[in-house]
Structure 1
Amino acid sequence: MRISKKIGFPALFMLVLSPAALANLSSTVTLTSNYLFNGITLTEDDPALQPSLDWVSDSGWYVGSWGSNVSFVENTDLEVDFYAGYYTELGGNWALDLGVAHYTYYGSSESSAFDYPEAYIKVSYDNTTLSYWYASDYFGAGGGHYIVMLTHNMQLTDNLTLILSGDRSTSTDTDKFLRDTDGTYHHWRVALAGEWLGARWTAAFDDTDLALDDLGEPTFSLSVAKTFNWL
């Protein structure tokens, strides 16, 4: 997934227990053949199970948590993310999404060294979205990092959507992250998504120009996601 403040389990638990929260509470469970994060596998090209818990208010505020198995580093096998934000429609097919997220990792006493907060903003017009994420301590490496992404959705049929996206990842301190490159790489993705048997299926192709061995290689993936609306 893609917080200057960490949202902890107690706060989220109390929130979802309130009657107003229960009216907008849902979970999505995704099974994917490969967990790709900006074009880089975090599961060594193995499958991942990714559940989420989300609450959305009628006024546009939202809070949630998302998890996945990972294997990008030894003795770290679980990622759990927390996020909160605000989404609003601006009129004339424009929309704005502002939020913060916190990525946390588990498996050993050293896993938390990869934890980091992030802030994001997304501006949409019709079926096109421009997104920006910034982290001052990317993957706990001590350096700043930002990502700019452009996404466009094309409705091919009533049940099939073509999703095109491209993004640029930039490290502001190459001594801390992406030290073996100039600090920048590009990632692009082509995906087909549709509804079948009550679930959302996505087939995708990802590639990057990242010049590091065994990272950012051309990758095909398949995922299926099922959403459960609790109340």
Structure 2
Amino acid sequence: MRFSTHFIFPGMLMLGFSPAVFADLSSTVTLGSNYLFNGITLTQDDPAVQPSLDWVSESGWYLGTWGSNVSFVDDTDIEVDFYTGYYTDLGGNWGLDLGVAHYTYYGSSESSAFDYPEAYIKVSYENTKLSYWYASDYFGAGGGHYIIMLTQTVQLTENVSLILSGDRSTSTDTDKFLRDTDGTYHHWRVALAGDWLGARWTAAFDDTDLALDDLGEATFSLSVAKTFHWF
């Protein structure tokens, strides 16, 4: 999922591929101290193992799948996401990413009740990105939900980046999905990411203004990701 991004996911699903590159099939395995979904832990602050398989064409089309262990509800242990989309270079350092994703959950016969589809659009200019996601049946609860996120990447050195992001999550029906009284909360993230020993290392601090017990609390997390290219 795109919250820890895309992005994490999160998160992520935070994909942006240049159509100038050759078609590529790759896998990324991420080990994280937590699985944060827009600032909310889906592993009860426990570690997560998150593999992916991604195919990217030279024309800009891409598709993939991503998985993680979860423990946000009893008897649901695994999340598997599927996604496809299209990225295009608009010229002048502008880029456009359009896609759809489907989130699925496993562990018991009732886990699939949380499954839901989502559509997204991301517009980028140089190191700045504005992203929007919409789901009409968020987490299978029957209510609409949308997220707007602004991300800024600052290149500190050749191998180290500072990534700043803030997002607003809004449930269009608070009777269907638990939120504050106005159905909205905000999440912000500060992360340092760098390449070392052939892997991507990230240290991040997340916090929210979500007024629900034990959810959205200030959290520090660490992760390491290794990508393998098959051809």
Give the alignment's TM-score, normalised by structure 1: 0.90
Which segment drifts farther, 71-80 or 179-188?
Answer: 179-188
Q: Which has the larger radius of gyration?
A: 1
Work out whether residues 130 and 151 of structure 2, in 8 Å CA contact, stay in contact via their aligned partners in 1: yes
Equivalent AA in structure 1 for residue 43 of structure 2: T
**Within 5 A, what are the aligned runs for 1:177-188?**
177-188=177-188
**Within 5 A, what are the aligned runs for 1:82-101?**
82-101=82-101
Q: Distance in 1 between matches of 2:179 and 2:127?
A: 36
Let me know the Cα RMSD of the aligned residues. 1.0
Equivalent AA in structure 2 for residue 105 of structure 1: Y
Aligned to 1:125: 125
Q: Does 1:27 align with 2:27?
A: yes
Query: Where in structure 1 are there 5+ consecutive unaligned residues?
Result: 3-21
Q: Give the 3-state SS of the residue equivalent to 2:59 in structure 1.
A: coil
Aligned to 1:44: 44
Cα distance, 1:182 vs structure 2? 1.8
Q: Distance in 1 between matches of 2:169 and 2:56?
A: 29
Aligned to 2:16: none
Runs of 4+ residues deviating >6 angstroms:
none
Q: What per-residue deviation string (whole Å, max 9, x for no partner) do you get for residues 53-73 of structure 1?
A: 000000000000000000000
Q: Distance in 1 between matches of 2:166 and 2:220?
A: 16
Q: Distance in 2 between matches of 1:182 and 1:79?
A: 28
Aligned to 1:19: none
Percent sequence identity is 87
Flag the 1:159–1:141 CA change in 2: closer, same or farther, 3 A: same
Q: Distance in 1 between matches of 2:156 and 2:229?
A: 27
Q: Distance in 1 between matches of 2:159 and 2:149?
A: 25
Work out whether residues 181 and 211 of structure 1, in 8 Å CA contact, stay in contact via their aligned partners in 2: no
Query: Where in structure 2 are there 5+ consecutive unaligned residues?
Result: 3-21
Aligned to 1:226: 226
**Within 5 A, what are the aligned runs for 1:102-181?**
102-181=102-181
Ranked by relative contact order (alpha carbons within 8 Å, sequence separation 6 or more), the top structure is 1
Cα distance, 1:47 vs structure 2? 0.2
Q: Distance in 2 between matches of 1:75 and 1:215?
A: 19
Cα distance, 1:180 vs structure 2? 4.8
Flag the 1:66–1:41 CA change in 2: closer, same or farther, 3 A: same
Q: Give the 3-state SS of the residue equivalent to 2:194 in structure 1.
A: strand
| Residues matched between the structures, number | 212
Cα distance, 1:178 vs structure 2? 2.2
Q: Does 1:191 align with 2:198?
A: no
